[in-house]
Amino acid sequence: MTDNIKFQVIDEDSTLYDIKETDDVTSNDKFMQTIQVNLEEKIQEFIKEKNPMLYILTPCFNGMCYINYLHCLIETISFFRRLNFPLKVEFCKNDSLVSRARNNLIARAMTNTSATHFLFIDNDIAWDPLDIIKLLLADKSLIGGIYPLKNYNWSKLVKDDGNPYNSNIIQSWITKKNNSILKDILSDEAMIQNNLLNYNINYLGNSIKIENNITKVKHLATGFMMIQRSTLEKMMKAFPSTKYVDDIHFLKKEENNMAYALFDCGVEEGHYFSEDWLFCDRWAKMGGEIYVDISINLTHTGIEDYRGSYLSSII
């Protein structure tokens, strides 16, 4: 449970983002303009240095995507076009086996030798285009964002695992928010919703160290996962037995050369791993590290929009 996680925040650039309550609107506007300019400069430096090409990969059974996903994708395409950042989008429709869909999408994208980064975004996720920029600039082999599960944990309203004497759990959440950097960012209602949700993450231990919004984890869900090309190349060499030929005719002949079942379900250490957990486990066994950016807030759409903020759940 996140309530029992201890964390340490290290922010080397904290002074850059320090807006004092006495600052007027004009100075805050200037601050935001400065941030925007700095971000644009960082992106252009990244493009010049890395010569990147990003693939967004989305499995979508029955060929369906939620409207929230579509809106975010349109905004992302427009944003990346303005930045002159090469971006391609690939879908795999009508494959009910999501692990095969992921592997086939990777095989297709990896066939393009210009591709440097691969971002899985599930068709029920909503994001901000800047979230993708955060992952790119982090320059990690395997990194992603944390999104909530599509249900509310109502038991959190009646039992505080961190403080059994807490008689007003909702008010304690609001108080935590008001005493944090989220005071003027999150509404009270959003704080309550964020804390009623569980998040799809697996920790390395009982504490996490956050540095510049990034921390290491044991497993990361593929719903918003970015992988560098070199990571996939290393894993293909390390797990040659996962090589396969696509029998459902999604891949072109030459794309089969990159077809490896790196995303697959399996039993490890007595646990039944989903395809994303097993992928992370394989990378970790190679000595690789897995990261998340806790500043990324994602929405997971089901019978309603489950709007997440992992950061607000651990303050």
What domains sit in the chain, N to C, each tagged with a CATH number?
2-314 (3.90.550.40)
Residue (of 185, 82, 186, 77) closest to 121 by Cα position: 77
Helix axes 129-138, 67-83, angle to 10 degrees: 60
- Average pLDDT score, the chain: 88
Read off the pLDDT of each residue in 16-24 and give the average, rounded to a whole number. Answer: 36
| pLDDT tier, 312 (very low <50, low <70, confident <90, very high otherwise) | confident
Q: How many other CB atoms sit within 10 Å of the CB of residue 304?
A: 10
**Bridge pairing between strands 87-93 and 142-144:** unpaired
| pLDDT tier, 223 (very low <50, low <70, confident <90, very high otherwise) | very high
In whole angstroms, what is the distance from residue 120 CA to residue 102 CA? 8
| pLDDT tier, 30 (very low <50, low <70, confident <90, very high otherwise) | low
pLDDT of residue 280: 97
Is the pLDDT at 237 greater than 50, yes or no? Answer: yes
pLDDT of residue 314: 83
In whole angstroms, what is the distance from residue 274 CA to residue 102 CA? 12
Is the pLDDT at 22 greater than 70, yes or no? Answer: no
- Coil, helix or strand at residue 194: helix
pLDDT of residue 238: 98
Using one digit for the tens of pLDDT, what is the confidence trace for 139-159? 999 999 999 999 999 999 988
In whole angstroms, what is the distance from residue 134 CA to residue 213 CA? 10
Is the pLDDT at 282 greater than 70, yes or no? Answer: yes
Q: How many other CB atoms sit within 10 Å of the CB of residue 135?
A: 24
Q: Is 43 exposed, middle or buried (0-12, 13-18, 19+ CB in 10 A)?
A: middle
Read off the pLDDT of each residue in 85-98 and give the average, rounded to a whole number. Answer: 95
Residue (of 220, 75, 30) closest to 135 by Cα position: 220
| pLDDT tier, 245 (very low <50, low <70, confident <90, very high otherwise) | very high
